Amino acid sequence: MFLRSGLNGLAQPLVIMLVLSGAGSSNQCKAVGLRGTANRTASIPVPLAMGAIAEVAGLELAFLITGVLLSVIMACQAIYLHRRPDIAAAGED
């Protein structure tokens, strides 16, 4: 229990540090704000969607389907950002 709590408390600062290091000094405030907004925004539809999927496919498959869908969305975002050099260059100072 202690180890799990310690590791959970370590994840947030590490994620924030990764966001800040990728954003560049002029965009750090925007990056942290966008991360917080995305977390709060996702906390509403994801549990609702997962509940709907669990109702149809069962709880075990709901985790799998939700994970696959979120992975596909993240891959699409990464491809989009990779193809937009103007966005990728925004983090460089």
Domain ranges of the chain: 1-43, 44-87
pTM: 0.62
Integer Cα distance of 80 and 76 in angstroms: 6
**Token reading at 23:** 């954003």
Give the mean pLDDT of 1-15. Answer: 80
pLDDT, one tens digit per residue, over 29-52 is: 888 888 888 888 888 988 999 999
Question: What 3-state class would DSSP assign to 92?
Answer: coil
> How many Å apart are CA 29 and CA 53, to the nearest integer?
36
C-alpha distances in Å from residue 34, one per residue of 41, 42, 62: 10, 12, 27
Q: What is the DSSP letter of 26?
A: T
